Amino acid sequence: MSISIKSAEDIEGMRVACRLAAEVLDMIAPYIKAGITTEEIDRICHDFIVNEQHAIPAPLNYKGFPKSICTSVNHVICHGIPGPKKLKNGDIINVDITVIKDGFHGDTSKMFLVGQVKPYARQLVDVTREAMYLGIREVRPGAALNRIGAAIERHASKYNYSVVREFCGHGIGREFHEEPQVLHYFEPKLDIRLEAGMIFTIEPMINQGKRHIQMLSDGWTAVTKDHKLSAQWEHTVLVTPTGYEVLTLRQEEDFGRTELG
């Protein structure tokens, strides 16, 4: 029961895996349009990861997951399984990419807007991204782990949104899911301190309505019980001696690569 501190070599390996995961999101962006099916998105990502990146799509066969990426549309919270359904104008979709390169995992996801999206849906997407960034800004050595969730929950509450509790961020490295669990809400008992060399994801799922989830019979897909919208963004983050480094940062993000120098 302990959080691993990554060596300099591990960190270099994680930088590479995380950069590849981020590049998959950049690559797939122009394809996310009305009319494409989520299994076509899965196929394009799979082929890019395997044939161009010479990496492994971590979800494929992970605990029986049948596809290479997760696609979560509208009221789907997370772990949506790519399938034959076409995206339509007004949809919001999370694409979650995890690649394994030289034994290291890089994990990141973002929301895409399909065509003209209603203002309330766009706001949920924007606020969820802001909440993730506010969580990331809490990361520095000596900070309590639960400050991340506190910052995320505070931001979501301002808009009367709710934070999903059943799924959380996670340590990551040679394993897909390592300690610690990174909750996206404030848990007073979670007062362990961050140390330089820890690597974990921050991946808040925020609901437009109530926080409660319902699992579909496929055993993977989590949806909102009230069928209102849900959004999620995810980055893999390294604790540095002075703050943090977002290992899965994309070029489009003006958000700083490091905080506090």
Contact window for Co ion (CB under 5 A) among 26-34, 39-47, 93-101, 179-187: 93-101
DSSP of 143-192: -BTHHHHHHHHHHHHHTT-EE--S--EEE-SSSSSEEEEE-SS--TT--P
- Out of ligand MF3, Co ion, none, which partner does residue 62 contact, by CB within 5 to 8 A per kind? ligand MF3
Binding mask 225-244 for ligand MF3 (x = CB under 6 A): ---------x----------
Closest C-alpha to 221, from 57, 73, 106: 73
Q: Which of 96, 153, 178, 245 touches ligand MF3 (CB under 6 A)? A: 96
Q: Using CB under 5 A, pick the residue from 23, 107, 138, 153 that binds Co ion.
A: 107
Q: How far is CA 26 from the centre of its chain?
A: 15
Q: What's the DSSP call for residue 258?
A: B
Beta partners for residue 246, in sequence order: 237
Q: How far is CA 68 from the centre of its chain?
A: 15
Contact between 203 and ligand MF3 per CB under 6 A:
yes
Backbone φ and ψ of 171, nearest 5°: -60, 155
In the bound state with ligand MF3, the residue whose beta carbon lies nearer, of 161 and 220, is 220
Annotated binding site: 79, 96, 107, 170, 177, 203, 234
Give the footprint of ligand MF3 on this chain (CB under 6 A). Answer: 59, 62-63, 65, 70, 79, 96, 98, 107, 201, 203, 220, 234
Give the footprint of Co ion on this chain (CB under 5 A). Answer: 96, 107, 201, 234
